[in-house]
Chains A and B, each alone.
Chain A
Amino acid sequence: MPWYFFGPRVAALGRRFGYVTQAELFAHRFESRAIPAILAVLSVLAFLPYLMLQMEGAGYVFSVVTEGRVPEWAGAAIAYGVVLIYVFRSGVLGVGWTNTFQGIFMMALAWGLGLYLPAKLHGGVGPMFDAIARELPDMLRGPGLGPDGKPWTWGAYSSAVAISALGFSVWPHYFMKIYTARDIPTLKKTVIAYPTFAIFLVPILFIGFAGVLAFPGVQPADAILPTIVTSAEVGLPPFIVGLFCAGALAASMSTGDALLHAAGSVAVKDFWDNVRPDTLDDAARRRWIRTLVVVFGALAYLLAVVARISLVELLLLSYGFIAQLFPLTVATFMWRGVTRAGALAGLIAGGGVTILLNLAPGLAWGGIHPGIYGVVANVVAMVLVSLATPPMRPAHVRAFVPD
């Protein structure tokens, strides 16, 4: 939703000054080479565990539905081999058009299974929730259960929602898609229509609820979807199970391709071009981006599937880190007084507090997400340091915050 406010401004500035990545906007606004270089490193660090997760998901689904005949390493290699080929050749257009195909495919599958399975196992969605409410009432009482199976606290729930909502709008691989829109009306239309996509998560959740009473005791819980789909009791024909497998791969690939494309792009445009300015011409830049897409793909695959390294901690951190971009984005468009030193101070304070509270969770009061404390520290540091340093040239700043 924040896109509704700053999306059109970002797109217009992108056109005027030729930005293609998120950090180019901040680099220009704060006339800084350090800010984009730091953001590029943090972005790649945040993308990597997220990409590994998508690859593991692809390998896992492949292996489960073929009863182990296609091992996880081979499944992940096949799916991400395809992704690397189309991202390498076609760039963001390959990402966009495959996402369109994959998205339509997933929608059909989500609604098909999400309505069929409750009907098959419980006689419908309504009767299913009635049965759960009767047998396990705690489950349907907001905000549900925490990771430990005990009722979740509202503080933890709402701060997790808040940090995700803030962070979501500024994830670099996602933010840079603002520049791909044909024109401002197209972007506005997308931002308005886009929340309808969340409706497609509802049938996906129905599938999980359908398993609560019919398939008790499945461990790990994430195996519930493959368990139901492949169970003899539900008796889905193999062709439908195949479509399910393809849908799960589509879910993984349509996120993984954007991450790979963005990782290569920010490493060259935001890191290299600022650390070693003017060493690449446009053709070399494009060649390096494509090369790094393959390098990052191979690296994530080796870490996730071959070395099986767990980066859970990094993944937790990455959300808190990315949320620190939110105050910076708001300040860029709302407040002329924010200075380069203020922006850097905010990022450092926010990132530091996020790391600290991840290392020492006991300090975070009330189970509230560490990223929230980070955002508060970020805003305080940004405002104080900006007020203490001389403002930037009004003529420059006016391009970002018009009268």
Chain B
Amino acid sequence: MAAWLIVFLVTIGYLIASLVIGLASGGHASKSTEGYVAGDRSLGFLVMYFIMGASIFSAFAFLGGPGWAYSRGAAAFYISCRGTSSGPAWRRSAAGSGT
């Protein structure tokens, strides 16, 4: 099998797993606005921990973080201070890459 196809299939496998988990988790919530927006105020520690952590790990942290370490050295530790994500550096280069 071609290398790129293996890469593609692994990625699709991850996407299917996300979809299944995402669809399966919704069954417990009430069909109300509070259920949809606040999950009936029912989330436990595990899910709360990862919901908060997810806002640290965004596309910016994953691609921009190493990019900063690579081009700006110690400045990259800024990313671990600021926690959240988004950054013009990554936006510009994504636009510039033009693929």
Shortest distance from the beta carbon of B91 to any chain A beta carbon, whole Å? 5
In the complex, the answer to whether B22 meets A220 with C-beta atoms within 8 Å is no
Shortest distance from the beta carbon of A332 to any chain B beta carbon, whole Å? 19
Specify which chain A residues have a CB less than 8 angstroms from the CB of B76 in the assembled complex. Answer: 144, 205, 208
In the complex, the answer to whether B14 meets A165 with C-beta atoms within 8 Å is no
In the complex, the answer to whether B38 meets A179 with C-beta atoms within 8 Å is yes
What bracket does the count of chain B residues touching chain A fall in?
Answer: 35 or more
Given A157-B78, A201-B80, A138-B45 contact (CB < 8 Å):
no
In the complex, the answer to whether B36 meets A92 with C-beta atoms within 8 Å is yes
In the complex, the answer to whether B56 meets A248 with C-beta atoms within 8 Å is no
Specify which chain A residues have a CB less than 8 angstroms from the CB of B29 in the assembled complex. Answer: 90-93
Once A and B bind, how many residue pairs between them come within 8 Å at the CB atom? 417
Specify which chain A residues have a CB less than 8 angstroms from the CB of B92 in the assembled complex. Answer: 220, 310, 312
B contact face: mostly helix, strand, loop, or mixed: helix
Partner of A152 from the list B44, B48, B75 (CB cut-off 8 Å) is B75
Q: Is A389 an interface residue (CB 8 A)?
A: no
Question: Which 10 pairs show the lowest CB-CB distances between chains A and B?
Answer: A86-B22, A242-B10, A90-B26, A57-B59, A208-B69, A144-B75, A220-B93, A139-B73, A164-B82, A208-B66
User: Apart from A49-B91, A164-B78, what 17 extra A-B contacts exist at CB < 8 Å?
Assistant: A57-B58, A60-B94, A66-B4, A85-B23, A144-B78, A145-B73, A164-B84, A168-B55, A179-B41, A180-B38, A180-B39, A197-B49, A205-B80, A212-B69, A221-B71, A251-B58, A289-B33
Q: How far is the CA of A378 from the CA of B70 in the complex (A)?
A: 37
Specify which chain A residues have a CB less than 8 angstroms from the CB of B22 in the assembled complex. Answer: 82, 85-87, 89-90, 94, 97-98
In the complex, the answer to whether B70 meets A144 with C-beta atoms within 8 Å is no
What residues make up the interface of A, taking CB atoms closer than 8 Å to B? 14-15, 18, 20-21, 49-50, 53-54, 56-58, 60-72, 78-79, 82, 85-87, 89-106, 132, 136, 138-147, 149, 152, 157, 160-161, 164-165, 167-168, 171, 173-174, 176-177, 179-182, 186-187, 189-190, 193-194, 197-198, 200-202, 204-209, 211-212, 218, 220-226, 238-239, 241-243, 245-255, 258, 261, 265, 269, 282-283, 285-286, 289-290, 308, 310-312, 315-316, 318-319
